[in-house]
Amino acid sequence: MTRKALLLFFLLSNFVLPAGAQENLLDQLKSESKADSDWKSPTSTFKAVRLINGHTVETRRKGNLEFLISHRFGRVNTGAYQFFGMDQANMRLGLDYSLEDWLTLGIGRNSFNKLYDGFVKIGIHRQGQSKTNLPISIVWVSNTSVNTLRRPELPMNLERRLRYSHQMLLASKLNQLAAIQLMPTYVHQNLVSERSGENGLFALGAGASYRVTRSIHVTMEYYHRFTNENNGSTNPLSFGVDIETGGHVFQLHLTNSQQMTETGFLPSTTGDFFKGDIHFGFNITRNFQLTKPD
């Protein structure tokens, strides 16, 4: 009896199983799918390579050239005579080139102090990489700037014109809308304005971005500087809006800093945001893909 039942089972299963398999072909594929594991990293953390004044963990992929045009106008509280700051602009023209997905080199020229800056940006870890699953992205940025302003009253050699900064950017995309970033930073100035001034400066930055619509994000950026000096400098604070349109990102912002490199806005910001020392500014980025992606 049991043998017959067994036989019946096999005979039946012969007809039933292929039919069952037919219904489940897609489910079978889904259960084997690698989509969850292989493509876990967010496609982007921030919309642009700059948060407002400083860098984001975002870099373009290999072979991309990014052209950046940035302006910071004068203070809005200078009134109608200065057209609310529009008469005085600090401009930066910059080029960022990504040699590899994890390596970007950049140069820039700022009209303020006739300053040249260059940086290297190294991706150390990408959020959600399959091996570690660590939910943060880590990027290192080292920056050097040369102030080429002529100062006849001071014997200026190259050493005195140089400033450096080093940053560790730690960012996490929390969900499809929000991303946060922490930026421990060290800035070194070879020449400081007062004899008693310190050459080194530590700061901790914090930033965030929130998606309002599919193409518009609001951003904020703040750097707290750990210094005992009382030379009138302040902590840079900025609020912005990012508008993305294909190959361009338009970033509009309000900030108390007029300089756009870490070596400038960290030690030398003097505006007090809450007293109206606010600069309107923008960054416009244009992306060019120079080599084909792998």
Binding site for another protein (CB under 8 A): 3, 6-7, 10-11, 13-14, 17-19, 21-23, 25-26, 28-30, 32-36, 38-39, 42-44, 60-64, 176, 213-216, 243-247, 287, 289, 292-293
DSSP code string of 103-139: EEEEEEEETGGGEEEEEEEEEEE-TT-TTT--S-EEE
CB-CB contact of 212 with 243 (8 Å): no
To the nearest whole angstrom, how small is the minimum distance from the Cβ of residue 113 to another protein?
A: 32
To the nearest whole angstrom, how small is the minimum distance from the Cβ of residue 131 to another protein?
A: 18
Quick one: 49 or 266, whose CB is closer to another protein? Answer: 49
Quick one: 17 or 93, whose CB is closer to another protein? Answer: 17
Quick one: 17 or 206, whose CB is closer to another protein? Answer: 17
Which run of H or of E encompasses 160? helix 158-161
Give the C-alpha separation, 88 to 200, whole Å.
Answer: 30
How far is CA 127 from its chain centroid?
Answer: 14
Quick one: 93 or 290, whose CB is closer to another protein? Answer: 290
Quick one: 103 or 182, whose CB is closer to another protein? Answer: 103
To the nearest whole angstrom, how small is the minimum distance from the Cβ of residue 154 to another protein?
A: 45
Q: Can you state the percent helix, strand and coil of the chain, rounding each to 5?
A: 20, 45, 35
To the nearest whole angstrom, how small is the minimum distance from the Cβ of residue 286 to another protein?
A: 11
Query: Rounded to the nearest 10 degrees, how much is the dihedral formed by the CA atoms of 289, 121, 234, 264?
Result: -80
To the nearest whole angstrom, how small is the minimum distance from the Cβ of residue 134 to another protein?
A: 18
